[in-house]
Amino acid sequence: MSSTASKISGDKKTSSGGNGSIRTYDNYIDGKWQKAEDGKTFPSLNPANNNEIIGHFASSSEADVDKAVKAAAKAFPEWKKTPAPHRAEILLKAAQLLKERKEELATIMVKEMGKVIKEARGDVQEAIDMAEYMAGEGRRLFGHVAPSELREKFAMAVRVPIGVVGLITPWNFPIAIPSWKLFPALVSGNTVVLKPASDTPLCALKLVEIMIEAGIPPGVLNFITGPGGKMGMALVEHPLVKAISITGSTEVGKKVAGRCGELMKRISCELGGKNAICVMDDGDVELAAEGAVWGAFGTAGQRCTAASRIIIHKNRYEEFKEVFLAKVKALKLGSGLDPKVGVGPVINKSQLKSINEYVEIGQKEGAKLLYGGKILAGELESGCFHEPTIFADVKPNMRIAQEEIFGPVTALIPVNSYAEAIEVANGTQFGLSLSMYTQNVNQAFRAMDDLESGIVYINAPTIGAEIQLPFGGTKQTGNGHREAGITAIDQFTEWKSIYVDYSGRLQRAQIDLPAK
């Protein structure tokens, strides 16, 4: 499949801000790079140094959303008819290109999003994995065949695409999460309007460039940048958009889901988490502390699955605290491009402020600030750096143990028993990822039953999901859908049940019963 689309995004401009040349990037609609209708742009900043502008991006409005959706609707009939194995070839080619550009993309990601370089490589790798997995789906997309209750009648159920789907993606996994939505949506035969987070438009744009190079036909993938709330709702409201998939905050997700409910549109939400690691009295404390550092402070705690609570059996509490604290003290904070750095900046100044407000809230609630708590001043002040922060002696009902902070802050909660650990772990409005460290096989299996979350880890932290398994959560974390794995296809397909009667006579189901 070939596309006549331009592979180069946007145009070049020279800034007057002393940063050298800063590019302006456009929307990609109907196979063409184009400016927002009203010509407005917004900057994307480097979170490690807000004086550095990564690029300027189209600040789109409803008119651009409308154009993108119409282009996707126009492209849908042909894309739907394109055999799935051919659709999949584009994903396989995209996987190849992602592999070739892994280092380049990871470096862009560190500059635009802030995560440390190793993790940025992992983010790109996750998109490669997803592209390869979903390319395989092109030769599966299994439906089912069931026996008919009547003779000479064939019964089957097949998957069909939904139509134009709107994908609203977050900044914390700025290539991986768009890929979780984009690849299954495309291989299933939908056409797409992708609206990435305003903090990380360049990462998503780079993925779009790869899709163009891989041969995605005009109109099948449209890309628009701009203010989240307004454009997100314009996508939801547009009558030609048939489904929305969103990853974001619970507050925004509920609003979008509510409106989709009224409009009878398919909606899949992946929202907040308040994930916990439980360390039991028979747990390996050294291993658990190592896992907790990674779970709580990886991606500066900005994962939906971040371990923002660590629930510890009282018999191991002091020991865990000591080992954990020593490891956290050894973490280096700084630019993610420095390979020695373990914790990078958080995404922007407003997140930085909101994270730091939780430090105050925790102290007012009576939790003990064991370590960190401050926004970095001095040399790193132009960036958004927050110290890794540990609260000790936290009570399960405190706000810092109930609300999603989305930053490098974790709460140590002592408990008296396995039963109490489970009660505390399950005792929030969320249900994304829960983990338990125990050496007791019976207790491990019991925990797999008892932990109420979409993802459970045993002897591993709350992060580290692989793309071939469903990803998502229970309770207020989502609305029952799952991303990744085979379940991703469910988000983006409708079932069509088909009966073929080749008997040549009228046969009536439920009525023409076999003679007794």
Q: Which residues are catalytic?
A: 270, 304
Q: How far is the CB of 465 from ligand UN1 (least distance, A)?
A: 3
Closest C-alpha to 267, from 84, 480, 8, 456: 480
Beta strands in 61-201 (DSSP E): 144-147, 153-161, 164-168, 191-195
Q: How far is the CB of 298 from ligand UN1 (least distance, A)?
A: 8
d(CA 238, CA 357): 37
Nearest residue (CB) to ligand UN1, 143 versus 464 = 464
Q: HEC states along 98-137?
A: HHHCHHHHHHHHHHHHCCCHHHHHHHHHHHHHHHHHHHHH
Q: Hey, how many other C-beta atoms are within 10 angstroms of the C-beta on 228?
A: 16
Does residue 172 bind ligand UN1 (CB under 6 A)? yes
Q: Which stretch of DSSP H or E encloses residue 410?
A: strand 409-415
Contact 327, 319 (CB under 8 A): no
CB neighbour list of residue 36: distance below 8 Å, 6 or more residues apart: 27, 58, 59, 60, 61, 64, 226
Q: Which amino acid is at 356?
A: N
Applying CB under 6 A, among 36, 192, 304, 311 the residue interacting with ligand UN1 is: 304
DSSP states of 322-381? HHHHHHHHTPPBS-TTSTT-SB---S-HHHHHHHHHHHHHHHHHT-EEEE---B--GGGT
Does residue 204 bind ligand UN1 (CB under 6 A)? no
Closest C-alpha to 279, from 402, 430, 466, 440: 440
Q: How far is the CB of 299 from ligand UN1 (least distance, A)?
A: 8
Q: How far is the CB of 130 from ligand UN1 (least distance, A)?
A: 10
Q: x/- contact string, 70-109, with ligand UN1 (CB under 6 A)?
A: ----------------------------------------
List, in sequence order, every residue forming a beta bridge with 165; answer none if it has no partner.
192, 243
Nearest residue (CB) to ligand UN1, 109 versus 415 = 109
* φ, ψ at 386 (rounded to 5°): -120, 130
Q: How far is the CB of 463 from ligand UN1 (least distance, A)?
A: 3
Part in contact with ligand UN1 (CB under 6 A); list of ranges 14-22, 28-36, 255-263, 463-471: 463-471
Part in contact with ligand UN1 (CB under 6 A); list of ranges 7-15, 55-63, 298-306, 381-389: 298-306
Residue nearest to ligand UN1 (CB): 465
Nearest residue (CB) to ligand UN1, 75 versus 276 = 276
d(CA 72, CA 244): 14
Q: How far is CA 353 from CA 42, 75, 349, 404, 487, in A?
A: 21, 43, 6, 14, 37
Q: How many residues bind ligand UN1 (CB under 6 A)?
A: 9
Does residue 126 bind ligand UN1 (CB under 6 A)? yes
Q: How far is the CB of 396 from ligand UN1 (least distance, A)?
A: 22
DSSP states of 477-503? TBSS--BSTTHHHHHTEEEEEEEEE-S
Interface of this chain with ligand UN1, residues 1 to 40, rule: CB under 6 A: none
Closest C-alpha to 135, from 86, 184, 195, 91: 91
Applying CB under 6 A, among 88, 94, 465, 489 the residue interacting with ligand UN1 is: 465
Does residue 405 bind ligand UN1 (CB under 6 A)? no
d(CA 141, CA 131): 15
Q: How far is the CB of 167 from ligand UN1 (least distance, A)?
A: 15
Q: Which stretch of DSSP H or E encloses residue 251?
A: helix 250-263
Nearest residue (CB) to ligand UN1, 382 versus 468 = 468
Q: Which stretch of DSSP H or E encloses residue 321?
A: helix 317-329
Nearest residue (CB) to ligand UN1, 279 versus 463 = 463
Does residue 130 bind ligand UN1 (CB under 6 A)? no
Part in contact with ligand UN1 (CB under 6 A); list of ranges 40-48, 144-152, 460-468, 508-516: 460-468
Q: How far is the CB of 70 from ligand UN1 (least distance, A)?
A: 32
Q: How far is the CB of 196 from ligand UN1 (least distance, A)?
A: 15
Does residue 303 bind ligand UN1 (CB under 6 A)? yes
* φ, ψ at 74 (rounded to 5°): -65, -35
Does residue 463 bind ligand UN1 (CB under 6 A)? yes
Does residue 185 bind ligand UN1 (CB under 6 A)? no
Does residue 470 bind ligand UN1 (CB under 6 A)? no
Q: How far is the CB of 128 from ligand UN1 (least distance, A)?
A: 13
Nearest residue (CB) to ligand UN1, 227 versus 464 = 464
Nearest residue (CB) to ligand UN1, 171 versus 492 = 171
Part in contact with ligand UN1 (CB under 6 A); list of ranges 30-38, 227-235, 373-381, 458-466: 458-466
Nearest residue (CB) to ligand UN1, 189 versus 196 = 196
Does residue 129 bind ligand UN1 (CB under 6 A)? no
d(CA 412, CA 389): 11
Q: Which stretch of DSSP H or E encloses residue 79?
A: helix 62-81
Nearest residue (CB) to ligand UN1, 172 versus 225 = 172
Part in contact with ligand UN1 (CB under 6 A); list of ranges 144-152, 299-307, 314-322, 405-413: 299-307
DSSP states of 416-472? SSHHHHHHHHH-SSEESEEEEE-S-HHHHHHHHHH--SSEEEESS-S----TTS-B-
Nearest residue (CB) to ligand UN1, 256 versus 304 = 304
Does residue 276 bind ligand UN1 (CB under 6 A)? no
Length of the chain: 516
Does residue 173 bind ligand UN1 (CB under 6 A)? yes
Interface residues toward ligand UN1, by CB under 6 A: 126, 172-173, 303-305, 463-465
